[in-house]
Structure 1
């Protein structure tokens, strides 16, 4: 991940509602959630949610697709994993045990690990 993309991602995640949206979508898995369901689960108005979703999508952290009359959003696991890798590459290079986790290749941001953390496995 390039530094500019990392900065866009960190900026998008530095707001409480947007961080909550990403966490909700990571737990939802690859099937994602309809915008209305996200708004209801987070107690956010549809117009407010739309603003935040646009920022997250612009940063590449989420994706949208149309299903019938709904717009369904899902986490971009590759982008989230890349962001974590970007952070860990420099800060943990001096710590072999932490660096080994980064080099291991198991994505901490994969749909399977998100489901395991949420107890949905």
Structure 2
């Protein structure tokens, strides 16, 4: 493969108010979803990237509950991302002029 020919870009968003470090942890955990759905993931010739963001609408004051929330968000984000990649592959279509079969066209 040529460099950056097979790049996957994803965004994980939440309304829970998280710090930059907490969002980074969610993103790290969510990248497991890429590894579940893409083989190989994070290879030296691709540009797989994941962004995480928060609207900050829901504030969790209790520090212990915040840690639990970060763990839960990261876990759910990985599951959702793996499913989103699978759905993208299943629903993909070719551009005009591109030959080859998509997933749904294969026997």
TM-score with structure 1 length normalisation? 0.26
Higher normalized contact order (CA 8 Å, seq sep 6+, divided by chain length):
2
Indicate the structure with greater helix content.
1
Indicate the structure with greater strand content.
2
Larger Rg: 2
